[in-house]
Amino acid sequence: MPILETITNDMKDAMRAKDKVALTAIRALKSAITNAEKSGSGEMSDTDIISIIRKQVKQRQDSISQYNDAGRTELSAIEEAEISILEKYLPQPLSEEEIQAIVAAEISSLGASSMADMGNVMKAAQVQCAGRADGKILSQAVKTALS
């Protein structure tokens, strides 16, 4: 089942269950997807939707740190609950060992030997990870392998 269909069904379930936190998170996600469809080329692929979900999670993580700094733990708890709802739509993340194996394979296939090749290795590794690894973690793995 496509991710968008799952999100729509989950939104209906949240409405029926009167789950305000889930409904708020899913509606915000659907709104972000709709906005991206309108500004883009129309129909979104699952990969595009996963990217939007990651952005939504990151926004909430930023909000959590700001709320914690301001001493607003009740708002921070709501954001954490919304993150847990959004994360169920994301694919299972790769382990550190899997990321290192992908990076090593891309380095050997491209013949990369220095930091000058980092961009090419990152591009190829991101395709292999297909949204299952955070960009910062992937970048750090490439830097470590090339240095």
Output the CA angle 39-129-33, nearest 5 degrees: 20
Q: What is the pLDDT of residue 10?
A: 93
The model's pTM is 0.72
Task: Tell me the residue type at 85.
Answer: I
Residues of the chain with CATH 1.10.10.410: 96-146
With contact defined as beta carbons under 8 Å apart, do 18 and 82 qualify?
A: no
Place 41 in a pLDDT band, splitting at 50, 70 and 90: low
Fold held by 96-146? Arc Repressor Mutant, subunit A (1.10.10)
Average pLDDT, the chain: 88
- CATH fold of 3-87 reads Hypothetical Protein Yqey; Chain: A; domain1 (1.10.1510)
In 3D, which of 45, 38, 42 has the Cα closest to residue 4? 45
CATH 1.10.1510.10 placement within the chain: 3-87
What percent of the chain stands above pLDDT 70?
A: 98
The SS3 of residue 93 is: coil
